[in-house]
Amino acid sequence: MTLNSYVYRETVAATAEAPLFLTFHGTGGDESQFHGFAKELWPGAGVLSPRGDVSENGALRYFRREAEGLYDMADLETRTGKMAGFIAAHKKRLAPKRVIGLGYSNGANILAAVVFQHAGLFDDIVLMHPLIPWQPVDNSELSNVRVLITAGRQDPICPASLTIALNDYFVRQGAKTTLDWHDGGHELRSSEQAAVAKLLGGQSPNR
């Protein structure tokens, strides 16, 4: 059943007007990694956090890879479709007025892969330290999506050149795009949380 394609954690929205967050963890994380973070960003929001179902030496991921930055593209295509179906089913079940996707590293990559093909599933997406080593096809529906990309200038996993290329791709599609850098590597920093709060229109952990 598509609704149960993944193990997931859910927090029910406080009101019918509250948005729905979908969070996607990094390699080695799980459905709890960013679930609480989303609740802090927007108290009262609904939060749905699927667990990756691929194991890489015991570390959970959303799709297979051959090496760092070398993805199993056939597996990625299959799992992108599976994730899109899961999201669409829950969106139909919950009927939220706004859908926000937030992913880090491998979670950002599966979120981006879904949005490249199914832009209508989201209103806003936050891609924290994504690595997209392929050229996605054009999609005019992305003009309706707001995109925030956060990255480290010294990230040894996600080269700055690929981050810039991804940002440029979204700009070409007409998406409302922001690229937020910090001077570190692959780690998450507090400046990224502030950038996400700004994207969300003033929501913050201290609201």
Residues with catalytic function: 105, 155, 186
Which pair of structure tokens corresponds to residue 84?
């899109």
Report the candidate in 147, 50, 161, 144 with the shortest Cα–Cα distance to residue 106.
50
Which pair of structure tokens corresponds to residue 6?
């993944």
Distance from C-alpha of 73 to C-alpha of 64, rounded to nearest angstrom = 8
Give the three-state DSSP class for 110: helix
Cα angle at 71 between 81 and 38, to 5 degrees? 60
